[in-house]
Structure 1
Amino acid sequence: MTLIEVIPEDMLNRSLAPKGPSADELRDAVMAERRTWIESLIAPHADRVDCQVDVLVGITFIEVIRAVLRDGHDLVIKTAEDPEWSRLLFGSDDMHLMRKCPCPVWLMKPDDKPNYQRIVAAVDVDVLRTVPDEQVLNDGILDLASSLALSDFAELHLVHAWDAPTAGFVGMWSNDPDTTERHIIEGEHSRHQVAMHRMTFRLSERIGEEAYEYLSPRVHLPMGSARKQIPQLVEKLKADLVVMGTVARTGIPGFIIGNTAESVISQLQCSVLALKPPGFVSPVTLQ
């Protein structure tokens, strides 16, 4: 495990008194002080956890992502910024990390519980065709969510929001629009239900039948927009953590997480564990 603190460059470039330390001396002193402080925090756990301390200078999200690229870290855990001037839980560095960090990013509320009670895994399913990258991402979401739920003895809720966009147009061609609309909605719901069953079956095969039966994940299939239905369900359940994917182009640098994912995240008031799709390339580089 590596503990990282990033000191803003402008903090170390302020003008000094004529007879004070040089800029280099100030930088070395500040970095040494922060390193000593972090080491004092981990000292009680040193016999159980192998920790490395890195004190870096620059912009937080850029330096953290560069550390991930340089050292091959599998997970970034960070306390959410929770800016006082905003109703949003997640600040600028948080959103940049979720957009651009190649590995999963776990943003925790400052007052998070030591153990989660309810975990929500949000997935997206294309019922018309098999999308390999989507399947890998969904399986990754469920694997992480189920692992955390098992370790914390927490409830696991799986949510997939779906819609039947053609149902609203049946009045243009059907002689019995109410019945036709109902059949369309029922058929669409059934297809998404089958897709979720396949996903949970794969999960049970990966974690084992006994663990799956112990978890007994609750599956939620709300009809409507994901950006509306997922935050509402999370609030209703009083969930402690949402595990979800971010949507980005793969194989080329991507700056923007999907509009739906960003809209959902901006409405949440709980911790978030965000995963990237396979093939994601961070726009941040080592240089």
Structure 2
Amino acid sequence: MQLQRLLVVIDAEHQQQPALQRAVEVARETGAELHLLQIEYHPSLEGSLLDSRLLNRAREAIVRQSCEHLRTRVAHLSDEGFQIDVDVRWSKRRHEEVLARVAALQPDILFKSTHPSSTLRRLLFSDTSWQLIRRCPIPLWLVHDTEPRGQSMCVALDPLHSADKPAALDHQLIRTSQALQAALGLHAEYLHAQAPLPRSLLFDAEVAQEYEDYVTQCSREHREAFDKLIAQHAIDRAQAHLLDGFAEEVIPRFVREHNIGLLVMGAIARGHLDSLLIGHTAERVLERVECDLLVIKPDGKG
């Protein structure tokens, strides 16, 4: 992973800009360029009875004023020597404008602040963060609204590909984390959660008698696959954690207990209608953790 060009989504609705703060921290360590994108939209200037010429002039005025205001807000960063480009655009569908800018700029990472969203809003496609999780083709760094917890990151792996992830994605996650380690000095922990089929779901008496053998075999397969993956990247065994339990429970608990500041996860979009789903387990994990998230798609997948 190169860290030369960072794209930051500026949220005009909030005074605090955690995504910009985090991107600045990365740029300070790497010398990367900062490209800021703010998207304006006001329903009152859409579909109005006003003359279309007047509406366009009003939108252009808002974009121009916002651009001047944003440049003023980040002037101190330019004075510090950061390379900053400011872009303000008008769009109703914010995630589409962000994705268009990603395609044009080809940044190394996209940074965006996260804010709480209800399940209903997510299902109705109204939350930009969830749309970007599903569709952004480059690493997406979602910055939590709090200060970072520490200088540690957790990389969630799936060596048996039980979540339908391609085998190459785990290697991609590890390479990305190692690049961040080298560039930012982050300490990495590697985690895999394994959970056999619950005994309560086995109703056949004969099958139930073989349950313990099944659990033992399942645990052996996960351990062998995890050890093989870790060995291929020369990762210290002390950094590798194979834990029992469902990922949506194990990962958030590990993040809390180990003061993790950044969780690195892979995401696979499924279904139709603009990649409606990214996978049940991944969505439940993303909803429960309270740290920064770096979401990685398989190479060549958007």
TM-score range, shorter chain: 0.7 to 0.9
Aligned residue for 2:193, secondary structure, equals: coil
Q: Within the alignment, does 1:25 sit opposite 2:46 as a pair? A: no
Judging changes above 3 Å, is the alpha-carbon distance between structure 1 residues 248 and 71 closer, same or farther for their aligned structure 2 residues? same
State the identity %. 21
Q: Which moved further from structure 2: 256-265 or 219-228?
A: 219-228
Q: Provide structure 1 residue ranges, at least 5 long, that are not aligned to the other structure.
A: 205-211, 282-287
Could you tell me the TM-score, scaled by structure 1's length? 0.75
Deviation at 1:12, TM superposition (A): 3.9
Q: Within the alignment, does 1:109 sit opposite 2:126 as a pair? A: no
2:166 aligned partner: 134
8 Å Cα contact 1:2-1:52 kept in structure 2 = yes
Q: Within the alignment, does 1:95 sit opposite 2:130 as a pair? A: yes
Q: Provide structure 2 residue ranges, at least 5 long, that are not aligned to the other structure.
A: 1-33
8 Å Cα contact 2:137-2:301 kept in structure 1 = yes
1:216-255 superposed matches below 5 A? 218-249=239-270, 254-255=275-276
Residue identity opposite 2:40 in structure 1: I
Q: Within the alignment, does 1:57 sit opposite 2:78 as a pair? A: no
2:219 aligns with one of 166, 189, 199: 189
**Separation in structure 2 between the aligned mates of residue 254 and residue 240 of structure 1, nearest angstrom:** 28
Q: Within the alignment, does 1:74 sit opposite 2:108 as a pair? A: yes
Aligned residue for 1:221, secondary structure, equals: strand
Residue identity opposite 2:227 in structure 1: H
Judging changes above 3 Å, is the alpha-carbon distance between structure 1 residues 81 and 11 closer, same or farther for their aligned structure 2 residues? farther
Deviation at 1:50, TM superposition (A): 2.9
**Separation in structure 2 between the aligned mates of residue 230 and residue 183 of structure 1, nearest angstrom:** 26
**Separation in structure 1 between the aligned mates of residue 103 and residue 191 of structure 2, nearest angstrom:** 32
Judging changes above 3 Å, is the alpha-carbon distance between structure 1 residues 16 and 116 closer, same or farther for their aligned structure 2 residues? farther
**Separation in structure 1 between the aligned mates of residue 266 and residue 88 of structure 2, nearest angstrom:** 30
**Separation in structure 2 between the aligned mates of residue 203 and residue 153 of structure 1, nearest angstrom:** 18
Deviation at 1:158, TM superposition (A): 1.2
Judging changes above 3 Å, is the alpha-carbon distance between structure 1 residues 235 and 148 closer, same or farther for their aligned structure 2 residues? same
Deviation at 1:106, TM superposition (A): 0.6
Q: Deviations over 1:252-284 (max 9, x none)?
A: 963321111111111111111111124424xxx
Q: Within the alignment, does 1:199 sit opposite 2:252 as a pair? A: no
**Separation in structure 2 between the aligned mates of residue 249 and residue 16 of structure 1, nearest angstrom:** 41
Deviation at 1:142, TM superposition (A): 1.6
**Separation in structure 1 between the aligned mates of residue 238 and residue 65 of structure 2, nearest angstrom:** 47
Aligned residue for 1:22, secondary structure, equals: helix
Residue identity opposite 2:108 in structure 1: D
Judging changes above 3 Å, is the alpha-carbon distance between structure 1 residues 103 and 153 closer, same or farther for their aligned structure 2 residues? closer
- State the number of aligned residues: 259
Q: Within the alignment, does 1:273 sit opposite 2:294 as a pair? A: yes
